[in-house]
Each structure stands twice: as C-alpha cells, then as structure tokens.
Amino acid sequence: MQRNSIPRSHPFIPMNAPACRTILHLRMEYTLYFGPKKLVLTSAPPANTTGQHAAPVIPFTQQADMQTAKKAIGQSPSVYLVAPDTALLLEAAKAHFAFIQAAGGLVQNASGEVLLIYRKGKWDLPKGKLDPGEDLPTCAVREVGEETGVGQLSIIQPLSPTYHTYFMAGQHCLKESHWYLMRTQHTGPMQPQLEEDIEACIWVDPKKLAGYLTNTHPSIADVISEAAPLL
C-alpha cells in the first residue's frame, strides 16, 4: 500500500518510531467510495467477472473510460477500473473531480482506548482539510486538536490514505484523507467542535470497536480495520 514518507525529525513523530513504518510501498489498488458504493482502481480484476451479480470490469485506455466507470456506479454496488499502472489510474480519477486533501488521526490514549467522534449521525475519526503551506502530519495533529480538544499528540506511524466522493456547492469532490496512528497522554475533558457538526467525542475499548463499525463510513471502517492489529 502506498504511504506518504514522513521525515523522522518531524516534531510529532517520536525518534524511536520504527523506521520501516515510513517506507513507501507500491499499492496494487485504490478504492474510491461513492457513499456505500465503490470504484476500485486496480491492476488485477476480480476472478469472477461473469454472472448476473458480477461487478462491472472496465479496462482503462482513455479518460472517457473514467466517465464510463462513474456512470456504472449508479447501476452496481462496485465497479472495477483496470490498468497496469494504478498510480496513473488515480491521477486520471482526480482529473474528474474537485480534488481535496485532508488529514486526520486514529488516536489511542494511555489506557489503549481509541478516540471516536459522532458527526452527522455517524461514528467517525477526526480529520480536516489541509491548509495552504501545511504538511500532512501537522494538519492531522491540528485537526484532531481542533475537533476534539485532545492535545499531547505523537504520531506513531502513517496508515493508508482513503478516498471518498461527495457533492459540495455544485461540485463533485474527491477527498484524499491521509491517516496517522497517534498516541496521547491527554487525560482531561474533550471538547467536540460544534461548528463542524461534532456532537460527541468518546474513548472506546478496541475490543468494542466492532459495535461502532455498523454505523460508520466505509472508508473509516477501512482505517480502523487496518489499524486493528496495532491497537
């Protein structure tokens, strides 16, 4: 999976963090969520591509194929867009949307509990848009603090970016959210950022996270599932 390389001298990253966690990895596929539906950009289509309920598989040879894939999402819960170079596929996808970068964190406290927020009827993780001139780790730490009031944050390692689409001000947007596993020594009260529609902030035992995944966004479920072995 492709990850952003982070300087080990960054102020939010402990110097004893494993160096292997910052190595770039090739990523074989990217999943773009359209609500509960998904467009999978991949170099390896699924084995079962026939039958009444098989997901459409579209070879990518030109930009028009991306538009074809977007239309197919309206008829199927998942669509596969296939090309040898998935990084180029992702760049082609970005050209069809208003592209937005964001960053956020999956935060554990000293007791091992995980920070969740409740926003617009869903359990979520704190994140927000990148400010001009800001780097991704700084954005992630800032957004966690602003949305929850939790400070004393250290980044342990990056997690895989997620991608989801939505409409805003008449534009079809694609948000690329960069995620970081964080630790905090914060023990005080939390402050949900009401102006960002955050109604509650809670600490959850990792063993009980599954109960919250039934009411979250697919991309957030992906982040929590990836981080689960580390919690």
* Average pLDDT across the chain, whole number: 88
Mean pLDDT of 56-69: 90
pLDDT digits (tens, 9 = 90+) for 120-151: 999 999 999 999 999 999 999 999 999 999 99
For position 111, what pLDDT does the model report?
97
Q: Take residue 167 and report the two structure tokens written for it.
A: 């409409």
- pTM across the whole model: 0.85
* Residue 178: pLDDT band with limits 50, 70, 90: very high
Q: Exposure of 19 by Cβ count < 10 A (0-12 exposed, 13-18 middle, 19+ buried)?
A: exposed
Whether the pLDDT of residue 8 is over 70: the answer is no
| Domains of the chain and CATH, by start | 29-94 (no CATH), 98-230 (3.90.79.10)
Whether the pLDDT of residue 230 is over 60: the answer is yes
12 or 28: which leads in pLDDT: 28
* Residue 194: pLDDT band with limits 50, 70, 90: very high
DSSP single-letter state for residue 214: T
Distance CA 81, CA 89 (A): 8
For position 101, what pLDDT does the model report?
97
* Residue 15: pLDDT band with limits 50, 70, 90: very low
Whether the pLDDT of residue 1 is over 60: the answer is no
For position 52, what pLDDT does the model report?
59
- 114 neighbors 206 (Cβ within 8 angstroms): yes
pLDDT more than 90, % of the chain: 78
**What are phi and psi for residue 228, nearest 5 degrees?**
-50, -45
78 or 22: which leads in pLDDT: 78
- 96 neighbors 66 (Cβ within 8 angstroms): yes
Distance CA 74, CA 92 (A): 20
Mean pLDDT of 51-76: 87
For position 50, what pLDDT does the model report?
59
Q: Take residue 163 and report the two structure tokens written for it.
A: 């991608």
Q: Take residue 43 and report the two structure tokens written for it.
A: 């170099």
pLDDT digits (tens, 9 = 90+) for 87-117: 999 999 999 999 999 999 999 999 999 999 9
**At a CB cut-off of 8 Å and minimum separation 6, what does 197 contact?**
119, 120
For position 27, what pLDDT does the model report?
60
Which is nearest to 150 in space by CA: 205, 108, 209?
108
